[in-house]
Amino acid sequence: MPSLRPTAIVHEVHLREPFRISRGTQTVARPVIVELRVDGLAGYGEADPSSFYGETTESVLAALHHLGPSIECDIGDIQTLQETIERSIRLNPAARSAVLCAAYDLAGKALGVPVYRLVGLNPERTPHTSFTIGIAEPDEMARKAQAAASYPILKVKVGTDDDARRLKAIREVRPDAIIRVDANAAWNPREAIRNIEQLSQFDLQFVEQPVAAHDVDGLAWVRQHSSLPIFADESCVTAFDVPRIAPAVDGIVVKLAKCGGIPGALDQINAAHLFGKEVMLGCMIETSLGITAAAHISPLVEYADLDGHLLIRDDPFLGVGVEQGKLILPRGAGLGVRGVHSETAQGA
Ligand code: MG
């Protein structure tokens, strides 16, 4: 049986501007780029660890080290690979995601087909992505919203002492935009109802994660008393969370870094749809490698928030395109991602 040989390097990237959400500000990200090599072919995947979910760049590297220098597995046997790494690094979903994305890239390249084809999806059916406006002063957020005029959908981070002033400033410069908001668990249920009521005058699409991740009763109560649809992100990490969370929300947010990669995301999307819930595919601050992997399965979902690569100034990869917000999948084999300075994706 062939051996898949994983190697990993850290590739630090920098935000165009400091990215602030209700619980902190980020200026750099340190994704781990995984190369999976066999028989002269290489596949690439990206780990985007979030300390909120208990992972760091260092824990990803340790998990990958734990996997060892080679994994006995056929190219394309992603089922066996998934079982193998779940036994070994179950609590490291970002690390698992990187290895499995690299495996999909490798399998696609070996077969000469794009990943969306491997999973049986129509590339024309990708959704539009939102463009995220981080927390700043109202005039600054309005400036960013105006600069993002080519994106018809905005996602605005909320959870400040005066979100209404910020939304008002954004609405003035973007009267026609679809606007969704994300509180990143900033409010208690009573604050959430009061704030959502006040913000609903700005014609919002839905509210993401109004209350604490563990507070499922709070989510249900907010949903019951709010005029806007409620989506769970921090509260719904994997497919296993869906049956418990579904009755409390209108939709869930799926991210490769939370659920362990493409197979886990397919499970979570299917589970949400079985419970009659809508799905948004989201992301961390990522390079085009990680974003493109998620974009390949985006034809399955109702909404996308796949803009992490648009927020960094030194993206080392070229992959999914965005035209007026619409995700444009690359047609090359595998993930179809290239290094900015090379013909194929290089982890350097
Ligand atoms: Mg979110």
- Rounded CA Rg of the chain: 19
pLDDT band at 341 (very low <50, low <70, confident <90, very high): confident
Backbone angles phi, psi at 318, to 5 degrees: -120, 130
| Cα(268) to centroid(ligand 1), Å | 16
pLDDT band at 2 (very low <50, low <70, confident <90, very high): confident
Measured distance CA(232)–CA(268) in Å, rounded: 13
Residues 170-229 pLDDT 10s: 999 999 999 999 999 999 999 999 999 999 999 999 999 999 999 999 999 999 999 999
β-bridge mates for residue 310, sequence order: none
Measured distance CA(160)–CA(167) in Å, rounded: 11
pLDDT at site 251? 98
Vertex 285, ends 160 and 213: CA angle to 5°?
Answer: 50
Kindly state the average pLDDT of the residues 147-152. Answer: 98
User: Which residues have CB under 8 Å from 327's CB, separation 6+?
Assistant: 126, 127, 128, 129, 295, 298, 304, 306, 320, 321
Residues 222-242 pLDDT 10s: 999 999 999 999 999 999 999
Measured distance CA(74)–CA(81) in Å, rounded: 8
- pLDDT over 50 at 305, yes or no: yes
| Cα(290) to centroid(ligand 1), Å | 17
Residues tagged active-site:
157, 182, 208, 233, 255
| Cα(282) to centroid(ligand 1), Å | 7
| Cα(128) to centroid(ligand 1), Å | 17
| Cα(247) to centroid(ligand 1), Å | 19
| Cα(207) to centroid(ligand 1), Å | 9
pLDDT at site 342? 63
pLDDT at site 46? 98
pLDDT at site 13? 98
- pLDDT over 60 at 92, yes or no: yes
| Cα(308) to centroid(ligand 1), Å | 12
Kindly state the average pLDDT of the residues 90-111. Answer: 97
Backbone angles phi, psi at 105, to 5 degrees: -60, -45
- Residue at token pair 């209350």: 211
Residues 68-89 pLDDT 10s: 999 999 999 999 999 999 999 9
| Cα(224) to centroid(ligand 1), Å | 20
Residues 30-70 pLDDT 10s: 999 999 999 899 999 999 999 999 999 999 999 999 999 99
Measuring CA to CA, which residue among 97, 174, 161 is closest to residue 135?
161
Tell me, rounded to whole angstroms, the distance of Cα 106 from its chain centroid.
Answer: 21
Measured distance CA(86)–CA(330) in Å, rounded: 29
Measured distance CA(59)–CA(65) in Å, rounded: 10
Burial of 241 (0-12, 13-18, 19+ CB in 10 A): buried
| Cα(261) to centroid(ligand 1), Å | 17
- pLDDT over 80 at 344, yes or no: no
- pLDDT over 80 at 348, yes or no: no
Question: Over the chain, what is the mean pLDDT?
Answer: 96
Kindly state the average pLDDT of the residues 133-141. Answer: 97
| Cα(342) to centroid(ligand 1), Å | 33
**CB atoms closer than 10 angstroms to residue 22:** 17
pLDDT band at 346 (very low <50, low <70, confident <90, very high): very low
User: Which residues have CB under 8 Å from 240's CB, separation 6+?
Assistant: none
| Cα(69) to centroid(ligand 1), Å | 35
| Cα(36) to centroid(ligand 1), Å | 30
pTM for this entry: 0.96
